[in-house]
Homo-oligomer: A and B are copies of this chain.
């Protein structure tokens, strides 16, 4: 193994707490009361179907920033909330300002000493770059589905990442908190490291049922991952 490619939303950053915090601040500044945790979950829930429309060719290539914005506009409309375009842009860029899980930066720093570490996310390059700058994520490079115009779990995203790094798929391991992403990576010939993020969908969500032999590595967080990899 030469390099680790990280899924980002949910795996590296806690999108839900961050988005709820930004929505609450937005609500407060507008004197609005809404169920912001549900709004956040709906915003996130709109993302997979929107990507799937791109993956099936029903939509031309569209960045996550633009998919997020379209979902946001429709959710605000449903909620009867008005917002100007600058405000919308700022709120939409909450996804550029997501906070890492408490162990993410420390784990990445250790892993970086031993491996090349990159993103492999459906987030666009500018989103991932701004997020890294804001959150102090020490990537060696920023690789996005945008570069291949293929969203994960399309094979092209996993192979494209290995190709840009000029390594074989089996020299690359995907790190993710989502079994479906890892299964697609395995089908593409990559190694797989599952990291549990039981709070990704909030305290009431049912965690994934993953056992130690489901993937090459199963870790409790990035520090545990670094321990297991001797980093």
Q: Residues of A at under 8 Å CB distance from B?
A: 63, 65, 116, 118, 124-126, 128-130, 132-133, 139-143, 146-147, 164-167
Once A147-B147, A164-B146 are accepted as A-B contacts, the answer to whether A129 and B124 lie under 8 Å apart by CB is no
Residues of B within 8 A of A116 (CB): 129-130, 133
Residues of B within 8 A of A132 (CB): 140-141
Once A141-B141, A141-B142 are accepted as A-B contacts, the answer to whether A129 and B65 lie under 8 Å apart by CB is no
Q: How far is the CB of A210 from chain B (nearest CB, A)?
A: 30
| Complex A-B, nearest 5 residue pairs according to Cβ-Cβ distance, in ascending order | A126-B166, A141-B142, A129-B141, A125-B164, A126-B165
Extra pairs beyond A63-B166, A129-B140 (5, CB < 8 Å): A125-B164, A125-B166, A128-B141, A129-B141, A147-B147
Residues of B within 8 A of A165 (CB): 125-126, 129
Q: How far is the CB of A39 from chain B (nearest CB, A)?
A: 25
CB closest chain-B residue, reference A132: B140
Contacting pair A140 B133 (CB below 8 A): yes
CB closest chain-B residue, reference A144: B164
Contacting pair B140 A65 (CB below 8 A): no
CB closest chain-B residue, reference A138: B138
Residues of B within 8 A of A167 (CB): 126
In the complex, what distance in Å separates the CA atom of A88 from the CA atom of B140?
A: 26
In the complex, what distance in Å separates the CA atom of A140 from the CA atom of B141?
A: 8
